[in-house]
Structure 1
Amino acid sequence: MTAASETPALPTTRPAGCPYDPPETYATLREEAPTSQVRCPAGMDAWLVTRYSDVRAVLADRTMSSRGASSVHVNAGADLDGDFEVEVSPGSIIQLDGRDHSRLRKMVLAEFTVRRVEAMRTYVQELVESHLDAMLAKPGEADLVRDFALPIPSLVICELLGVPYADRERFQHQSGVLVSTDTTREQGQQAYEEISGFLAGLFTDKRKNPQDDLFSRLIARGEATGDALGMEELVMLGLSLLVAGHETTANMIALSTLVLLDHPQQRDVVLAAPERAVEELLRYLSVVQFGVLRYATEDVQVGTRAVKAGEWLVAALNSANRDEELFPAADKLDFHRESPRTHVAFGFGAHQCIGQQLARVELQEALTRLFRRVPDLRLAVPRESLAYKHNTLVYGVRELPVAWG
């Protein structure tokens, strides 16, 4: 790679006035340099992969390790380089590769099948309706993030995993620290220790008093098969599921609502065909905004670029989802787009998001029921006053004041 002083920085700045669009640089890179060198905030150089076909190829390649997790490249001060060997904790389903990853994924996948998730749809519907009842009982105004978008996926993941919802403020705060790109090592370590301690206590109790939830079933299944998960494995796995299980969906609900307030003519399509609409919203918004990190364990060809073993790559999901080669007029929100599920908003390959079916159900039910019951929903503040999450791994809007009636 070239000298650090000559290497451009990883694109992170969105175009002014376009809160839904990824950095403008991506469009130029897809045309002129689809796999190009960038300097990451973590302090190392990486190959930025911007074309859809190349992103899929990188994520599907088993020689591309996920050992650096999906996002360490945007954490300033991580100080990674090509010779860096990341120590992966047992149970880290996001970072593990090969057999270790497959073992954990197989244990968890049974809980997220289409059939099991569909069985939860009625519960999700009831949650959405109860939160709409509470929101509409307010005097004509509410914060959609606080009152609707955040509590629904938090309740769903708590119910599924077996985490007391009374502890939500605790893990929501810690999750916010862990997904912030401004978090220092000390702050991140403290948040990790706090949430790990909380989960360790929870698992100790579930071993003694199992309930009808995912964590209890994981413990019982492991003991029955002789493949019991140790406490460190359980904690790391639990942390991944808990954080990912509410952060992405909560931000998608709020940001999708804002998009639909900006495109009122599209709401009828959402109500008539929620499955198709949700897939297009996932593609268009791509809330995992800084891409996912991979480490080449062997020499490999990415497009026309030769990548050497020991080099890092960043697969830009939001660039791939705006690639006009696959998505004509990609910068346009189009609910009539063909093959909407070809997007990579949930990643691709062995590490594709386990909870994607659950996220789809939550988005479908939240958006359709919201706009069916509150057809006159509108912003309660000037559009330009909204604040966005430019410094978090998952993009979204910090607050969404809305009004009706």
Structure 2
Amino acid sequence: MTETVVFPQDRTCPYQPAPAYLPLAAERPLAQVALYDGRRVWAITSRDMARRLLTDPRISSDRTNPAWPMMFPVIAATVSDVQQKVMKIVTALVGVDGAVHSARRKMLIPSFTLRRINAQRPMIQEIVDRQLERMLGNGAPADLIPAFAAPVPVTILYRLMGIPDEDHDFFEKVSHQLAAGPNANEAYDELMAYMDKLIARKRRNPGDGVLDDLLAGRGGAADVGEVRGEELISTLVLQVAGGHGTTGTMISLSMFVLLQNPERLAELRADPSLLPTAVDELLRLLSIPDGVSRLATDDIEVEGTTIRKGDGVFFITSLINRDENVYETPDSLAWHRASARDHVSFGFGAHQCLGQNLARVTMEIALGTLIRRLPGLRLAAPAGEIPFNPTAGFQVLTELPVTW
């Protein structure tokens, strides 16, 4: 390359890779890119290489390492005490390696198995139906995001985690304040006090949510000892930040794409059994998180190139998931694609997304219900005028006006 691509780049379309990444795709399997401060790091664009490196113990997720590559100056800037607390909470699972990561992940695995999530299908369907009835009751047109796509996953997640229904609004409010609000310190104290009360309540009257599993030591939590309030907050905030936001975005962006591909939509309406594969194909094509960041902790030889110890390594999801060596016609939707589930939208290896079964089932039921019950669903504005915001390499529609 004659000029190093700066990473990350904004997309010009919410479901297509950034145009500036096209030279990187041509250089597969890896290339060098530059971060905001000029630091050169490795960009992985090959599906096979991505899988190989994401399972290599020399590729680290430890965000406390001083050499960790920062994508944005705002992240690298000095943060307040409460922001440090929040970062500690959010990275408690995804930002650690080895035995610590394995022990924390083991606590949660039994609650997110496919069998456990499939058993929640009636609950998920009930929440989807109730939210859709609310949207229909308010009449057309509607913004599908606040009316349906955003509240469905968060309600499902809170119910699964064991947060009482009457506390959902409170938890949603303080979670957002904790992440970005001006009253983050107060929100942190409120959340800690709330968790202390909730833990005491659940010890007196256990339920069957994820928090109850952790407190009771059920399944993989049996040998982790006493679970403290801060650990439970870490679990909750991580699942909220990584779960309902991404799933809600996938629901809205998937419908946006489907409504622009009427033939593919008609196929799903005619044969709902295609929905599970369609969900993975949409996850592959849309690739809403644009990059997964890692750090090399030792020299790694790959394809005749040496990734040096201390080098940043970024896995550019939108290019990996369109690797033409893996996917035929990678830029199109195909419900019968045998390799549809081979994407890396949930990561790969030890840090693969723990909530992927829940995300898939939620998307399948939410999209299937919209397709079945609203045969006349269509965009209420030209597709090119619908705004989106590629916030921090994460593709988000800011509104989705629809009618039916």
Query: TM-score band (shorter)?
Result: 0.7 to 0.9
Does structure 1 retain, via aligned residues, the 8 Å contact 2:8–2:35?
no
Letter in 2 for 1:396: V
How far apart, CA to CA, are the structure 2 residues paired with 1:200 and 1:42?
42
1:7–1:188 distance in 2 versus 1, CA, 3 Å: farther
Does structure 1 retain, via aligned residues, the 8 Å contact 2:253–2:397?
yes
How far apart, CA to CA, are the structure 1 residues paired with 2:184 and 2:33?
25
1:156–1:298 distance in 2 versus 1, CA, 3 Å: same
Q: Which residue of 1 aligns with 2:213?
A: 217
Identity of aligned residues (%): 36
Does structure 1 retain, via aligned residues, the 8 Å contact 2:264–2:333?
no
1:345–1:29 distance in 2 versus 1, CA, 3 Å: same
- Which residues of 2 match residues 72-91 of structure 1 at below 5 A? 73-79=70-76, 89=88
2:22 corresponds to 1:27? yes
Secondary structure at the residue paired with 2:390? coil
Letter in 1 for 2:283: L
CA offsets, 1:380-399, max 9 Å, x none? Answer: 12323311121145322111
Does structure 1 retain, via aligned residues, the 8 Å contact 2:107–2:224?
no
How far apart, CA to CA, are the structure 1 residues paired with 2:365 and 2:37?
38
Secondary structure at the residue paired with 2:43? strand
In the TM superposition, residue 366 of structure 1 has moved relative to its aligned partner by 0.8
Q: Which residue of 2 aligns with 1:244?
A: 242
Q: Which residue of 1 aligns with 2:9?
A: 12
How far apart, CA to CA, are the structure 1 residues paired with 2:209 and 2:314?
35
Q: Which residue of 2 aligns with 1:263?
A: 261
- Which residues of 2 match residues 103-118 of structure 1 at below 5 A? 103-118=103-118
Secondary structure at the residue paired with 1:389? strand
Q: TM-score, normalised by structure 1?
A: 0.85
How far apart, CA to CA, are the structure 2 residues paired with 1:247 and 1:72?
24
CA offsets, 1:311-333, max 9 Å, x none? Answer: 21111112100111111211112
Q: Which residue of 1 aligns with 2:80?
A: none
How far apart, CA to CA, are the structure 2 residues paired with 1:178 and 1:25?
34
1:189–1:127 distance in 2 versus 1, CA, 3 Å: same
How far apart, CA to CA, are the structure 2 residues paired with 1:255 and 1:23?
16
Which has the higher mean CA deviation after the structures are superposed, 380-389 or 50-59? 380-389
How far apart, CA to CA, are the structure 2 residues paired with 1:128 and 1:174?
24
Secondary structure at the residue paired with 2:94? coil
In the TM superposition, residue 357 of structure 1 has moved relative to its aligned partner by 0.9
Select the residue among 37, 45, 60 that pairs with 1:65. 60
Does structure 2 retain, via aligned residues, the 8 Å contact 1:51–1:319?
yes
Secondary structure at the residue paired with 1:235? helix
Secondary structure at the residue paired with 1:73? coil
Letter in 2 for 1:12: Q
Q: Which residue of 2 aligns with 1:367?
A: 367
2:37 corresponds to 1:36? no
In the TM superposition, residue 55 of structure 1 has moved relative to its aligned partner by 1.4
Select the residue among 41, 49, 54 that pairs with 1:46. 41
Letter in 2 for 1:68: R
Does structure 1 retain, via aligned residues, the 8 Å contact 2:45–2:315?
yes
Secondary structure at the residue paired with 1:37? strand
Secondary structure at the residue paired with 2:92? coil
In the TM superposition, residue 270 of structure 1 has moved relative to its aligned partner by 2.3
Which has the higher mean CA deviation after the structures are superposed, 54-63 or 353-362? 54-63
In structure 1, runs of 5+ residues without a counterpart are 1-5, 81-85
Letter in 1 for 2:247: T
In the TM superposition, residue 293 of structure 1 has moved relative to its aligned partner by 1.1
- Which residues of 2 match residues 5-404 of structure 1 at below 5 A? 8-15=5-12, 18-32=13-27, 34-41=29-36, 44-68=39-63, 73-79=70-76, 89=88, 92-169=92-169, 171-172=171-172, 198-199=194-195, 201-221=197-217, 225=223, 227-271=225-269, 272=271, 273-289=274-290, 291-404=291-404
How far apart, CA to CA, are the structure 2 residues paired with 1:19 and 1:340?
20
In the TM superposition, residue 187 of structure 1 has moved relative to its aligned partner by 8.4
Q: TM-score, normalised by structure 2?
A: 0.85
How far apart, CA to CA, are the structure 1 residues paired with 2:155 and 2:49?
37
In the TM superposition, residue 189 of structure 1 has moved relative to its aligned partner by 7.6
Does structure 1 retain, via aligned residues, the 8 Å contact 2:131–2:148?
yes
Secondary structure at the residue paired with 1:101? helix
Letter in 2 for 1:106: K
Does structure 2 retain, via aligned residues, the 8 Å contact 1:55–1:316?
no
Which has the higher mean CA deviation after the structures are superposed, 393-402 or 240-249? 393-402
Secondary structure at the residue paired with 1:36? strand
Letter in 1 for 2:316: A
Letter in 2 for 1:35: L
